[in-house]
Amino acid sequence: MDNLNNHLQVDLLKTQSLGNFNKAAKSAAQSFESVFLFEVLQSMYEGVESGAFGGGSSENLYQSMLNEEVAKSISKQGGIGIADSIYNEIIKSQQVANRL
């Protein structure tokens, strides 16, 4: 009976560990997509003349912060599909590593 309980506890720990790994993988994939979208937004504004808020370094800082938050928001709401692809690749690579 003790052997069965030990086996069940090990299975429970593996399941919890897998759940934590999946959450971490999802978070990493969303973060990557968010950084990618931030870079896209930053490059989009490179050709736009500043001046809506007076120009200067403060406006550049504000624009950068705005782009970062917009990118995070897009990613959290489903993004453009990059996060899903990256998440699937992380899971595949983890499965391959577990087989070795």
Domain definitions of the chain by residue range: 26-99
Whether 79 shows a pLDDT value over 80: the answer reads yes
Question: Cα–Cα distance between 86 and 84 in angstroms, integer?
Answer: 6
% residues pLDDT > 90 (the chain) = 32
Q: Quote the DSSP letter at residue 81.
A: S
Predicted TM-score of the model (pTM): 0.72
Q: Where does residue 15 rank: exposed (0-12), middle (13-18), buried (19+ CB within 10 A)?
A: exposed
Could you report the per-residue pLDDT of 10-55, keeping only the tens digit for each? 444 555 566 788 888 888 899 999 999 999 999 988 877 766 666 7
pLDDT-based confidence at residue 1 (cuts at 50, 70, 90): very low
Whether 95 shows a pLDDT value over 80: the answer reads no
